[in-house]
Amino acid sequence: MTETEGTIKRIKTQLTRLGPVLPGSLSKQWNVCGTPGCKCKDPKHPRRHGPYHQLSYTLRGKSSTVFVKPAEVPEVRQRIKRYGEFKRLCGELVAAYVEAIRQHSSNRRQTCKRSTSC
């Protein structure tokens, strides 16, 4: 096994052990409702409803948001962090595949230089 093949195997193993991932970012939102006379519409001291946690992300070119329950916030944060690691590992994997094809092409050229059958 070449060093590049070992790198590819290591990255694939890390990817399988990563666990659930989520793209995007988590933010706090405060809302104003439509109920007349609500505290959120007080003319002197409005108090908006919230905070509500919201996951914003883009998937397949489409932006979207999802409200997240307070009890789920720590897990969502962890999954977002894992997504960063997922993207980093995917970049390393692609780079390793490119290196593997370069090595293969280089080895083939060296073999052809020694042989008249190429």
Q: Per the structure, how many domains does the chain have?
A: 1
Q: Indicate the pTM of the whole model.
A: 0.77
Query: What whole-number distance in Å separates Cα of residue 117 and Cα of residue 85?
Result: 46
CA 87 to chain centroid: 5
The residue type found at 111 is: T
Rounded to the nearest 5°, which phi and psi values hold at 16? Answer: -70, -25
Residue 29 and residue 50 in contact, taking contact as beta carbons nearer than 8 Å: yes
Residue 73 structural domain: 3-114
pLDDT score, position 99: 94
Name 22's Cβ contacts closer than 8 Å, sequence gap at least 6: 55, 57, 76, 79, 80, 82, 83
pLDDT score, position 69: 97
Mean pLDDT by 10 residues, the chain (118 residues): 93 97 97 93 93 97 97 98 98 96 79 63
pLDDT score, position 15: 97
- Listed residue (74, 25, 72, 27) closest to 50, CA to CA: 27
